[in-house]
Amino acid sequence: MADGTLPPLARRKFLLGATVTAAGAFAEGKRTVAEQPAGERAPPLKIIDFHNHYVGPNFPLATLASAPPALRSYWEGVNRNLSDPGSLMSSIEQSGIAARVINTPTAFLEDADGNVPSDMIPRINDAVADLVSRNAGRLYGLATVDAYAGETAARELTRAVKELGLRGVFVESAKRDLLPDAPQARPTFATAAALGVPVFVHPVTDPAMHNRFKRLGRLGVRLARANINAAALVALIESGTFDEIPNLRVVVTTLALGGVLLAGGFDDGARLRSDTPAPNRRHVYVDTMGLHPVLVRAAVDLLGADHVLVGTDWPIAVEQSVPDRLRTALSACGLSAAQQQMVASGNTLKLLGLG
């Protein structure tokens, strides 16, 4: 459908049996574009990846300090990619995509007390803007701020957008006991809405949940980060932030899908369903991290194809064959060619003010 929604019957069937429905669709449409007869091939997808991290060579990464011994080698490889603009640019070609939207998480730079020097954040934004300007059309940049720093963060966001040309803002899901509904974060969200740029609300490691779940291994660590990303979304919904800032648009990761399901999949709290007139849906977007048909189908079914966008979490995850995998996942959702292109890049370009 042109508005990016699926028919109510399809939504009901999915909510009653998401895994069975999506798995069946996947089995029916799992042929890659390359395997299809020429007459059946849809136009190639232009893909812009919204979820990518970059720090650059001039800032000290702190990720190894907390890396367990078993993952130290993995994080050393991640750090090399995070620090090297050459790796970033070559990854675009290797992944078969058109462009990346880059951000610099403060979590990668924090000291043992969870702090980043105040003068570092403007320098990060200057560096990102410089790299983006030298790779126009291949890179787009989000500003980095400490969203919980009140008016200081709002002023830096304004500078990064108006003076540097960055097209959104990256914020962490929490800081110590604070979630995005905290008064300290309100200036950042209000300023983003006033500037017309999206807020990428990204998972962060919550110490309490991390300690509780880390014994479950890497999946447990991911579960803890998923919970805090979902909690950030629920905090924005339940606090009335979206009502108070009607032009606010936020992007969460696939890890926050539990929060999206809670807010949209139950009749007593259907705040995000694509078939309701409730205003909250227009505020929320979710990425495709994982590129799994079941996950993508869940996001599309609840929010609509116009509120889902490609995100891979590079270089934390280095995805291969992105065009084929994305086409398979989107075909499993039953999306038209136009809707598939919306997810692949149209929604991101529109969020960035380029559509």
Per-residue pLDDT reduced to its tens digit, 248-275: 999 999 999 988 888 776 655 455 544 4
Q: Three-class SS of residue 175?
A: strand
Buried b (16+ CB within 10 A) or exposed e, 59-80: bebbbeeebeeeeeeebeebbe
Kindly state the tokens that stand for 244.
């108070």
Give the residues across from 49 on adjacent strands.
Answer: 100
CA distances from 224 to 12, 58, 208, 316 (A): 29, 30, 9, 16
Residue 256: its pLDDT value, please?
Answer: 93
Percent of the chain whose pLDDT exceeds 70: 84
What is the rounded CA–CA span in Å between residue 226 and residue 259?
A: 9
What is the rounded CA–CA span in Å between residue 51 and residue 314?
A: 7
CA distances from 179 to 155, 171, 220, 223, 230 (A): 20, 11, 21, 18, 11
- Would you place residue 45 in the very low, low, confident or very high pLDDT band (cuts 50, 70, 90)? very high
Within a 10 A sphere around the Cβ of 183, how many other Cβ atoms?
9
Better-predicted residue by pLDDT, 312 or 71: 312
CA distances from 249 to 183, 189, 199, 305, 355 (A): 18, 9, 6, 16, 15
Residue 331: its pLDDT value, please?
Answer: 93
Residue 268: its pLDDT value, please?
Answer: 52
The secondary structure element, H or E, covering residue 200 is: strand 199-202
Better-predicted residue by pLDDT, 41 or 191: 191
Kindly state the tokens that stand for 40.
């059946």
Average pLDDT over residues 282-292: 93
DSSP letter at 261 equals H
Smallest CA-to-CA distance from 322 within 95, 102, 89 is with 95
Percent of the chain whose pLDDT exceeds 90: 62
8 A C-beta contact, residue 102 and residue 50: no
What number of residues does the chain have? 355
Amino acid code (one letter) for 340: Q
Better-predicted residue by pLDDT, 154 or 72: 154
8 A C-beta contact, residue 281 and residue 236: no
**Mean pLDDT of the residues in the chain:** 85
